[in-house]
Structure 1
Amino acid sequence: MSETTTTDLYEVTMAMSYLREGMSAPATFSLFVRDLPPGRGFLVSAGLEPALDYLSRFRVSTDDVRDFAAVLHRPPAELSGLLGLRFDGVVRAIPEGHLVFAGEPLLEVTAPLPQAQLVETYLLGQICHQTAVASKAARCVIAAQGRPLVDFSLRRDHGPQAGLQAARLSAMVGFTATSNVAAATRYGIPAAGTMAHSYIECFPSEEDAFRAFARTHPGPLTFLVDTYDTERGVATAGRVLADLRRGPGCAIRLDSGDLGELAHRSRRLLDAAGLTDVHIIASGGLDEYSVAELVRTRAPIDVFAVGTRVGVAADAPYLDAAYKLVQYDGRPVMKLSSAKVTAPAPKQVFRGPGCADVIGLIDEQPPDGTVPLLRTVMRDGRRTGPPDALADARSRFEADLADLPQAARLIHRPESPVPTGSPRLEALTSEVRDRLEATSAVPGDRSR
């Protein structure tokens, strides 16, 4: 499937019209989130790296033109203006890992109008999905309060590519490992995994299964103990581990039931057997809410393995995001529709202490005590530097999280910082609004 044709049809019909009308002057589009989802005090900027990869490769081929023509029921010759179109514009963006808030441009594209229009759908898909998942995973990191987290989401994610992204994004915000082998090898993330209940069921008994597993794997070993009776499984695992003397780092995994109560019982059984260094791993439908509750009740769980609800950002699986034109051919533009008003012109986000952000115009000087967040990451359709390292994104996330107000970090009913507009941006917005309202008024219309 062509990445170029992975777009909405109206992007193609608009681009065709722009080319026919000779409208190829530079256009700036701003990608931003209108409002944070319920239950979110912040978002984590993510998806920029794959978005830049896409823009670097973007080209309308003969096959793409043929496919566009087929769905439009038009002769390919009528779409010849699209053939060979590449992306040769400028991209300014907030690098991955930074915390972002409602109304702030995560990314701005400036390119000839047909190009900037055609890439809209793909950019929104990449940035929105990955920002939603990274933000969900970040909240799990907050809830765990320093306990290790492992990504177990692959089998429940929305396809293999989404699973690869979830593993990368969770590592970006602080997860220590992933069950996803492809992600582990591609991104250098430690791999982690145990065994399935089906493995236990293949053997005459749990003890037979545990000993067979140990014969294949030198360790550290992790035994899944809740296939039948959990406490009996813990006792059996403890007996096998004590007999094998495999050393520190071994663990048991709890995957169902009342994880808090079972963890307490398991800890007592292990300690009574002299296995104080055997860890307890918990999995099974976990997210930031359940992790926070387990931590609050002091459940003796050493590692949380989270999957389904994080990999699909279950409680907030989409973002109310937009990719809106803010300037064409040097003329600032804006949308005036009720509840969907946009601010004109290319912008910059200036971050102050405590994530107190100011949204201003691109050519403004930073207010005292602030730093600009958007960087030029692509010029003439080429990256301005090497791809960002995962470790760099993680460092940005850790620094921003440390500076985030406590109210925005709350798992329940967080309060998000609200960016303010600079005086220059507010003045330009009023000026453009007045101009548009004056030119769009119908003679005799007194509704304004």
Structure 2
Amino acid sequence: MSSATTTDLYEVTMAMSYLREGMTGPATFSLFVRDMPPDRGFLVTAGLESSLDFLSGFRVGPEDVDAFASALHRPPGDLAPLLGMEFNGQVRAVPEGRIVLAGEPLLEVTASLPQAQLVETYVLNQVNHQTTIASKAARCVLAAAGHPVVDFSLRRTHGPQAGFQAARLSAMVGFAGTSNVAAATAEGLPAVGTMAHSYIEAFGTEEAAFHAFARSHPGPLTLLVDTYDTEEGVRVAARVLRNLDRASGSAIRLDSGDLGALALRARAILDAAGLPDVRIVASGGLDEYAVDDLVRSAPIDIYAVGTRVGVSADAPYLDSAYKMVEFDGRPVMKLSSAKATAPGQKQVFRCPGYADVIGLRDEQPPDDGVPLLETVMRNGRRTVERPTPRQSGERFAADLAGLPSEALRIRTPVAPRAVTSERLTELTGGVRRRIEDEVLAAAAGVAKP
């Protein structure tokens, strides 16, 4: 089976019906986030690159047809119309790393209706998860106020792929390194890591463990000091580093307890030992809220964040949607209460101060407005090169510099709100009236001319 089967069953049932009814005209689906998660002043768009990888390789093969048939309890012949389907549509999207707001399309897919429908689940999965993680990681960088932040999340993420994505995305928004060797190698990121408490326990004493570690690793050392008594562990680390003349570039790591109070005592011990350049690394249940508290009063040099960031513990999902906005040249919309959508292919115009405007694709930008959505795929093939984490990070940094200060707050941020253009508002009202008239006419048994 291929990744084409990574979809919800109802995507298959709808695609089959479309093909049976001859509904293969072009359809446009818009992916957006309805509302900001709690305590978020902005979102960092991500997941586009893996979505494009999926779309460019999308093809329904014989084994996929067999899987669909098995899931539907039908003969494979019934699913034969899907065989050989490839994605040959267009994607317009906001590039990865850019800051986006609620309601703004992150990407729009235009393809034959069965194609555009069948790829929905995978694309939503990628954009939803990765935008969630990138946005959480970006807040950690803000909270650290210039101190390096590194990724320790792999062992707690929801699978190896999620861990890889967390490492890549955290680097995109400014993390200094990752413990994930696979991601560091593939993405050209600095690999970081120290030792576990089991290492100390295996040697019996901290001093023996630290000396053994130093023999195996000739460069700067980071010594874990809280396996037994933390303050004594700092003293032992200081003695080893001083005696071996290995203080330059080295550090100690605190992983438990009251990190703020322990960092103050550790700093005093290191300074008294004549080791002012030995840094303090803190880890253990940290996220942007804990970092924001610590950075104000604790002499911590580097923050290692893991579990709570790798799964975005306080806001683990986005209220994202992938909705059809046009079919066969006809703008369409959903009218459901609290989930209504706006019709038509769209563009987002970034205006100074994040006074963003959501308009129609063919609109002229407002004064000082810059279009965000770019054509990134045509005829099922990429039209732009894959960016490096550094290139995406440069986009992020540029966007971050323009955000209002209230959106940057770690606690009780206020997110800017995009507005709709006059033309989009008029189209929405017109389509709504047309649909309501058609529904009324159908209910009355009258055919609409």
Shift in Å at residue 204 of structure 1? 2.5
Structure 1: segments with no counterpart, 5+ residues:
none
The C-alpha deviation readout for 1:184-241, integer Å capped at 9, x for no partner, is 0000000000000000001121000000000000120000000000000000000000
C-alpha separation in 1, matches of 2:146 and 2:433: 52
Aligned partner of 1:256 in structure 2 is: 256
The C-alpha deviation readout for 1:138-176, integer Å capped at 9, x for no partner, is 000110001000000000000111000000000000000
Scaled by the length of structure 1, the TM-score of the pair is 0.98
* Residue 386 (1) aligns with residue 385 (2): yes
C-alpha separation in 2, matches of 1:204 and 1:99: 50
Please show how residues 415-434 of structure 1 align to structure 2 within 5 Å: 415-434=414-433
C-alpha separation in 1, matches of 2:357 and 2:94: 14
C-alpha separation in 1, matches of 2:219 and 2:354: 44
The C-alpha deviation readout for 1:344-370, integer Å capped at 9, x for no partner, is 000000001122210000000111101
Scaled by the length of structure 2, the TM-score of the pair is 0.98
* Residue 109 (1) aligns with residue 109 (2): yes
AA in 1 matched with 2:373 = L
Aligned partner of 1:239 in structure 2 is: 239
Aligned partner of 2:369 in structure 1 is: 370
Shift in Å at residue 443 of structure 1? 3.3
- Is the Cα–Cα contact under 8 Å of residues 2 and 61 in structure 2 kept in the other structure? no
Shift in Å at residue 391 of structure 1? 1.2
C-alpha separation in 1, matches of 2:204 and 2:33: 55
Aligned partner of 1:198 in structure 2 is: 198
Aligned partner of 1:61 in structure 2 is: 61
Aligned partner of 1:74 in structure 2 is: 74
Aligned partner of 1:226 in structure 2 is: 226
Aligned partner of 1:301 in structure 2 is: 300
C-alpha separation in 1, matches of 2:295 and 2:79: 59
C-alpha separation in 1, matches of 2:110 and 2:390: 28
C-alpha separation in 1, matches of 2:244 and 2:104: 56
Please show how residues 12-161 of structure 1 align to structure 2 within 5 Å: 12-161=12-161
Shift in Å at residue 388 of structure 1? 1.7
Moved more, 323-332 or 435-444: 435-444
C-alpha separation in 2, matches of 1:367 and 1:115: 34
* Residue 317 (1) aligns with residue 309 (2): no
AA in 1 matched with 2:75 = P
Shift in Å at residue 390 of structure 1? 1.4
Aligned partner of 1:188 in structure 2 is: 188
C-alpha separation in 2, matches of 1:405 and 1:251: 36
- Is the Cα–Cα contact under 8 Å of residues 29 and 108 in structure 1 kept in the other structure? yes
Aligned partner of 2:173 in structure 1 is: 173
AA in 1 matched with 2:138 = A
C-alpha separation in 1, matches of 2:351 and 2:394: 18
Percent sequence identity is 70
Aligned partner of 2:402 in structure 1 is: 403
SS at match of 2:203: coil
C-alpha separation in 1, matches of 2:54 and 2:319: 22
C-alpha separation in 1, matches of 2:102 and 2:406: 16
Aligned partner of 1:327 in structure 2 is: 326
C-alpha separation in 2, matches of 1:247 and 1:231: 18
C-alpha separation in 2, matches of 1:237 and 1:354: 49
C-alpha separation in 2, matches of 1:258 and 1:141: 22
Moved more, 223-232 or 352-361: 352-361
The C-alpha deviation readout for 1:327-384, integer Å capped at 9, x for no partner, is 0000000000000000000000000112221000000011110100000000000000
- Is the Cα–Cα contact under 8 Å of residues 355 and 400 in structure 1 kept in the other structure? no
Number of positions where the alignment pairs a residue of Structure 1 with one of Structure 2: 443
SS at match of 1:202: helix
C-alpha separation in 1, matches of 2:401 and 2:280: 28
C-alpha separation in 1, matches of 2:2 and 2:101: 33
- Is the Cα–Cα contact under 8 Å of residues 270 and 276 in structure 1 kept in the other structure? yes
The C-alpha deviation readout for 1:53-72, integer Å capped at 9, x for no partner, is 00000000000001100111
C-alpha separation in 2, matches of 1:260 and 1:247: 22
Aligned partner of 1:347 in structure 2 is: 346
RMSD (Å), alpha carbons: 0.8
AA in 2 matched with 1:183 = A
C-alpha separation in 1, matches of 2:334 and 2:207: 67
SS at match of 2:424: helix
AA in 2 matched with 1:367 = P
C-alpha separation in 2, matches of 1:44 and 1:195: 32
Shift in Å at residue 27 of structure 1? 0.1
SS at match of 1:35: coil
Shift in Å at residue 385 of structure 1? 2.1
SS at match of 1:340: coil
Aligned partner of 2:291 in structure 1 is: 291
- Is the Cα–Cα contact under 8 Å of residues 89 and 380 in structure 2 kept in the other structure? yes
Aligned partner of 1:412 in structure 2 is: 411
AA in 1 matched with 2:195 = M
- Is the Cα–Cα contact under 8 Å of residues 45 and 100 in structure 1 kept in the other structure? yes
- Is the Cα–Cα contact under 8 Å of residues 6 and 122 in structure 1 kept in the other structure? yes
The C-alpha deviation readout for 1:35-54, integer Å capped at 9, x for no partner, is 01111111100010000000
SS at match of 1:4: helix
- Is the Cα–Cα contact under 8 Å of residues 2 and 60 in structure 2 kept in the other structure? no
Shift in Å at residue 247 of structure 1? 4.2
- Is the Cα–Cα contact under 8 Å of residues 285 and 307 in structure 1 kept in the other structure? yes
- Is the Cα–Cα contact under 8 Å of residues 141 and 175 in structure 1 kept in the other structure? yes
C-alpha separation in 1, matches of 2:386 and 2:133: 21
